[in-house]
Structure 1
Amino acid sequence: MKTLVIGHRNPDMDSICSAIGYAEFKRATGMESAVAARCGNTNQRIDFALEKFGLDSPVFFADVYPRIEDVMQRNVVSIHRDAPVYQAMTRFGEDKFRGLPVVDDARNCIGLLSAFKLGKYLFPPIENLSSSRIVEASIAHIRDAIRGMLITGREDTVVRPRTLVVAAMLTESFQKRLEQLDIPSTVLIVGDRWNIQELSIIAGVPAIIITNNFSPPDKILALAQEHGATLLSSPHDTATTTLLARAAVTAGQMLSPDFACIPGDATLRQTRSDLALSSQFAFPVIGANGRMQGIISKGDLLRPAPRELILVDHNELTQAVAGAEEVPIIEILDHHRIGVAPTQQPILFVNRPVGSTSTIVADCFRQARIPIPKPIAGLLMCGMISDTLNLTSPTTTQVDREIMEELSKICGIQPSDLASEIFSVGSPLLTLTTKNVITADCKEYEERTVVFSVSQIEEISFSQLEKKRSELIEELEKYRASHNYFFSALLVTDVNTQNSILFVRGSESFTRLIGFPEDGSDSWRLDGIVSRKKQLLPYLTQTLARMA
């Protein structure tokens, strides 16, 4: 089981830093399976923070939908197409399947060998009993099937019809039987009846199986060599030898070539629907290279994926990694409004009105009295600085200030110095495409059945904004239309002046109610507004309420 500690889509600094920090905390408290994860790209500021403190970026997951490769059996019990089916008989029961996949030299699955079909072959209905004497196999395969030994002669490797004849009769009766046989295709199964063996060799029977490990006398050996007959020795009695010889046909001869395969990256949900009415007993799982990488039964489709989630810095499914609704969520650690992702059972849900999720993570270490590693302390400082604009945002609390002071002592770095480094790196307006400016830190919300998005970027000044204004408005409208949002907003914040410019594209019935001073087409000036969570979002939801 892997536990993914993962932030929201379009991750910001706090989302990445809190994921890494909380995964470290969970491992330190006994959850060795905890892994920091992300579901979006990092930006230059995040990359700077990771490099500064020598930490790797969280593992990327485009989605967490349970897939076939999550629940398939990887150690596949299979059989080669040229192998006698007696090998399949010995392998039935090594797994839970009612058959085996048949593979070629390259391990490609070419069909399925059904235990039911094999059973009907070995034990045919009464009306077809005569066919039970015919086995299409080579002498070599027959010897393998009975686990016998070559006494003398040549092992024919040609696969062709052979007639199994049991010499369980008097000599006189057998002489009459010989006259009725197709001698070239006959394989005689006999015990220590040397007179019958002699008659058969002289008559031209090409192969004789001597049961119970009886050793033929020198006279019989010499006669077989003279007539070119092949003598095999079986360790079993005549009845068992006959049954095993029937199993000398190859798997390739018995396979069902019409079968369904499943790609390993197929989702469990879709596969359950696709295979609901299939009677196939098992399904080979095919990799990107076309080769079999596993096998799965219908029962396996009901198994849970070996993956669970801890959500950090968000608690709404609309902001979570794709597929989160199909994976158990076992914890949530957040500092935003409660939208609440549904869970299958009671969970630990920590939601605190502080400035950042990194603050909560640091406090978890503090309450558990676990020392915070220096690199983790530095990274948590970065998350706090970014989300609280270095403790100047109205979301900042006394807890944030206390935690920041403790982290600063651990790292030996002043918050103001670290903040200057972070905000001087990678101006979004200069380093990102216009589309990425909108999507880099974008969150989706739903209020009163209305779905909308709010993006935010931080700049050290508005000097680059005028050059991008028209492009930003155009791209914001494209983003809104492509997601069918009621409106989409972008908050551009000047971290030095603590002022913002708000861009909004959407229904005029909404935008005409925005009461801030206009700053041009589709934009408003928000002096003293820097927090999307505590200042802007409440205003937007109140404006929506006024429309009702």
Structure 2
Amino acid sequence: MKDVIYITGHKNPDTDSICAALAYSEFKNKTGTATAIPVRLGEINRETKFILEHFGVEPPQLIETVKLQVADLNIDNIAPIAPDISLKMAWNLMKRNNVKTLPVTDESGVLIGVVSVSSLTSSYMDVWDNCILSKSGTKLENILDTLSAKPIYVHGENPNFLGKIIVTAMGPNSVKGLIEEGDIAICGDREDTQEIIVASKASLMIVTGNHDIKESLIENAKKLGCSIITTPYDTFTAARLITQSIPVEYVMAKDNLISFSTEDFVEDIKDVMLETRYRSYPVVNTENMVVGSISRYHLISKNKKKVILLDHNELGQSVHGIEDAEILEIIDHHRIADVQTGNPIYFRNEPVGSTSTIVGSIFFENGIRPSKKAAGVLCAAIISDTLLFKSPTSTLVDKLVLKRLAGIADIDVEKFAKEMFKAGTSLKDRTAEDVFHQDFKIFNLSDMKIGVSQINTMDMESFLPIKDEMTSLMKSKVERENFNILIFVLTDIFNEGSEIMVEGPNKEIVEKTFDIKLGKDSVYLPGVLSRKKQIIPPLTTTIANHKSS
């Protein structure tokens, strides 16, 4: 398992979720041995995009799941072989690397076949016909390598051996009756037999025992197109080995190949392995290029992907597959919800306005100065989550940490905040779908499924063109996804209040919570700025009282 820690915020990430992950990854990489990688679980909103571009920071990598994949395992790093190498060479490679199968690739590295010990031995043990070199398109290079031979004369650049293999262990007269033009003849040092082989226009004469060849015979072979090689092996050994010179592509499996992708989930490949029971399987990347091989013993590993959760501790808001990952830490400023771990972990939850405030504090508590870029994105996240301290979630700690980070980032907080809010809060030319899911969270309160979307803006009028579209979207989402209550919160940053829209079969709970009457239109809630502090807690209380009554 690769030594990597994924640091992630919640789904539909807001600025705090993204910036905290970026900065905390820097901290972990400065203080730990494992590689910390910031990741995100959705598209970056306009505000966050402005921030990252302003400070010159690359966005975190987008991931869809933390379920264990083949890419996370320490698979065997076995180099694939070319389809034209000999059976003998393939066999030697298997023995040298102590493997039972080898992937075969074309010139581009794309998988085209698999050769195994069983395919080599079964092909070698089968009754071979004596035209096998012709049928398999065996090259002279393979024959030379297999027989440890040296060339005496080679006819043409790429000679073809289209005849049968014969061993001329009989008298000259008998040889004449057997050998035909194009044959491959294995012989000893009898010159009369050698002359008949050449005169019969054999395509290849293999002389065993490394015996010398007469110059006159070589000259005649040149005229008649007969290649000549010599091998140190005796006739029996040469005859036994020559069939090992055929290329592996002749015996490799190439139909219905079973291979796995680096993107495959480990839980999915287990059943395939049980059904097929091969010793090992090729692993290919997304371009179908071989990167190694995997066997059953690789799956014995109990390792899981290592994850640190920021700005949330609720399963419904976390990355897909989190139940199969190992959670190392949680850093958050929300209510404690339903994430469970198998082991004790570092859990830091503080009642401050931003997770980035906690991350900034961690830097300073450990005597580590964040980089100018990290300090900049942390500043932006604190400003965003506290609405520049207009939100009731703001604390003195947020202000102190922001002041210290702003000095490192060298920014004018007031000036930057105006630029950031202006860039990120305009709703012009945006769809209801885009606006609703910019910062949407799901909460499970008692047995009720509650969805709350919140967006901050400096231009409330820009929402009017998509208001009807938003109503239709919310009604459809309630029906499709079985929400009890679905709320859209449009927060006016400067006037310090929010307009809310509510759909769902239990929306009377919202009416009771905020002492309002919901009609077809939206309702303005003065002073309500925080989903975390002013919407979810009172809803939780109302639902609890509703259940007990």
Fold shared per TM-score above 0.5:
yes
1:518 aligns with 2:517: yes
Q: Are 2:161 and 2:203, in contact at CA under 8 Å, matched by a contact in 1?
A: no
- Greater CA deviation, 257-266 or 537-546? 257-266
Any unmatched runs of 5+ in structure 2? none
Deviation for aligned residue 1:27: 2.0
CA distance in 2 between counterparts of 1:541 and 1:371 reads 40
Describe the shift of the 1:28–1:200 C-alpha distance in structure 2 as closer, same or farther (beyond 3 A): closer
Aligned mate of 2:372, from 365, 371, 374: 374
Alignment of 1:140-539 (within 5 A): 140=140, 141-152=142-153, 154=155, 157-160=159-162, 162-165=164-167, 167=169, 174=171, 178=175, 181=178, 183-184=180-181, 187-192=184-189, 194=191, 197=194, 207-218=204-215, 221=218, 229-258=226-255, 259-285=257-283, 291-299=288-296, 300=298, 308-343=306-341, 345-430=343-428, 432-460=430-458, 462-465=460-463, 468-508=466-506, 510-511=509-510, 513-518=512-517, 520-521=519-520, 523-539=522-538
Per-residue CA distance 1:318-352 (angstroms, 9 max, x = gap): 21233333443322211112225344544322222
Q: Are 1:336 and 1:533, in contact at CA under 8 Å, matched by a contact in 2?
A: yes
CA distance in 2 between counterparts of 1:240 and 1:535 reads 89
Per-residue CA distance 1:103-122 (angstroms, 9 max, x = gap): 34554433222221211222
Describe the shift of the 1:324–1:95 C-alpha distance in structure 2 as closer, same or farther (beyond 3 A): farther
* Secondary structure at 1:546 match in 2: helix
Describe the shift of the 1:180–1:512 C-alpha distance in structure 2 as closer, same or farther (beyond 3 A): farther
Deviation for aligned residue 1:205: 6.0
- Greater CA deviation, 230-239 or 362-371? 230-239
Deviation for aligned residue 1:365: 0.9
CA distance in 1 between counterparts of 2:104 and 2:407 reads 64
* Secondary structure at 2:85 match in 1: coil
* Secondary structure at 1:444 match in 2: strand
Q: Are 2:17 and 2:310, in contact at CA under 8 Å, matched by a contact in 1?
A: yes
Q: Are 1:359 and 1:400, in contact at CA under 8 Å, matched by a contact in 2?
A: yes
Residue 17 of structure 2 is matched in structure 1 by 15
Letter in 2 for 1:213: N
Describe the shift of the 1:80–1:317 C-alpha distance in structure 2 as closer, same or farther (beyond 3 A): same
- Greater CA deviation, 219-228 or 329-338? 219-228
Residue 543 of structure 2 is matched in structure 1 by 544
Per-residue CA distance 1:351-380 (angstroms, 9 max, x = gap): 222221101111111111112333322321
Letter in 2 for 1:37: V
Letter in 1 for 2:352: V
* Secondary structure at 1:247 match in 2: helix
CA distance in 2 between counterparts of 1:104 and 1:427 reads 53
Per-residue CA distance 1:266-285 (angstroms, 9 max, x = gap): 43333334443124444445
Per-residue CA distance 1:63-121 (angstroms, 9 max, x = gap): 44444455486965333333332332232246564222333455443322222121122
* Secondary structure at 2:502 match in 1: strand
Per-residue CA distance 1:215-272 (angstroms, 9 max, x = gap): 2355765675687654311134445433331112222221223223445544333333
Deviation for aligned residue 1:453: 1.4
Per-residue CA distance 1:358-414 (angstroms, 9 max, x = gap): 011111111111123333223212111211222232322332232223223434545
* Secondary structure at 1:437 match in 2: helix
Letter in 2 for 1:377: A
How many pairs were matched up? 537
- Greater CA deviation, 48-57 or 250-259? 48-57
CA distance in 1 between counterparts of 2:60 and 2:208 reads 66
Letter in 1 for 2:242: A
Letter in 2 for 1:241: A
Describe the shift of the 1:496–1:152 C-alpha distance in structure 2 as closer, same or farther (beyond 3 A): closer
Q: Are 2:375 and 2:405, in contact at CA under 8 Å, matched by a contact in 1?
A: yes
Q: Are 2:496 and 2:527, in contact at CA under 8 Å, matched by a contact in 1?
A: yes
Letter in 2 for 1:407: L
CA distance in 1 between counterparts of 2:311 and 2:261 reads 34
Q: Are 1:111 and 1:257, in contact at CA under 8 Å, matched by a contact in 2?
A: yes
Q: Are 1:517 and 1:526, in contact at CA under 8 Å, matched by a contact in 2?
A: no
Q: Are 2:6 and 2:39, in contact at CA under 8 Å, matched by a contact in 1?
A: yes
CA distance in 1 between counterparts of 2:153 and 2:412 reads 90
- Greater CA deviation, 78-87 or 7-16? 78-87
Alignment of 1:54-93 (within 5 A): 54-71=56-73, 77-93=79-95
Any unmatched runs of 5+ in structure 1? 168-172
Deviation for aligned residue 1:32: 6.4
Describe the shift of the 1:176–1:13 C-alpha distance in structure 2 as closer, same or farther (beyond 3 A): same
Aligned mate of 1:115, from 111, 114, 117: 117
- Greater CA deviation, 452-461 or 17-26? 452-461
CA distance in 2 between counterparts of 1:31 and 1:522 reads 55
Describe the shift of the 1:136–1:373 C-alpha distance in structure 2 as closer, same or farther (beyond 3 A): closer
Describe the shift of the 1:343–1:136 C-alpha distance in structure 2 as closer, same or farther (beyond 3 A): farther
Aligned mate of 1:25, from 24, 27, 31: 27
Per-residue CA distance 1:177-210 (angstroms, 9 max, x = gap): 6477455575443444556546765777664322
- Greater CA deviation, 500-509 or 8-17? 500-509
Describe the shift of the 1:530–1:119 C-alpha distance in structure 2 as closer, same or farther (beyond 3 A): same
CA distance in 2 between counterparts of 1:264 and 1:161 reads 45
CA distance in 2 between counterparts of 1:61 and 1:483 reads 23
Deviation for aligned residue 1:515: 4.1
Deviation for aligned residue 1:537: 0.8
* Secondary structure at 2:11 match in 1: coil
Describe the shift of the 1:373–1:226 C-alpha distance in structure 2 as closer, same or farther (beyond 3 A): closer
Letter in 1 for 2:542: T
* Secondary structure at 1:426 match in 2: helix
Deviation for aligned residue 1:40: 1.6
Q: Are 2:146 and 2:241, in contact at CA under 8 Å, matched by a contact in 1?
A: yes
Q: Are 2:40 and 2:62, in contact at CA under 8 Å, matched by a contact in 1?
A: yes
* Secondary structure at 1:92 match in 2: helix
Describe the shift of the 1:375–1:152 C-alpha distance in structure 2 as closer, same or farther (beyond 3 A): closer
CA distance in 1 between counterparts of 2:344 and 2:172 reads 82
* Secondary structure at 1:390 match in 2: coil
Letter in 2 for 1:454: V
- Greater CA deviation, 275-284 or 533-542? 275-284
Q: Are 1:79 and 1:251, in contact at CA under 8 Å, matched by a contact in 2?
A: no
Q: Are 1:518 and 1:525, in contact at CA under 8 Å, matched by a contact in 2?
A: no
* Secondary structure at 2:515 match in 1: coil
CA distance in 1 between counterparts of 2:317 and 2:159 reads 65
- Greater CA deviation, 511-520 or 431-440? 511-520
CA distance in 1 between counterparts of 2:86 and 2:490 reads 72
* Secondary structure at 2:488 match in 1: strand
CA distance in 1 between counterparts of 2:91 and 2:184 reads 22
Percent identical pairs in the alignment equals 29
Residue 170 of structure 1 is matched in structure 2 by none
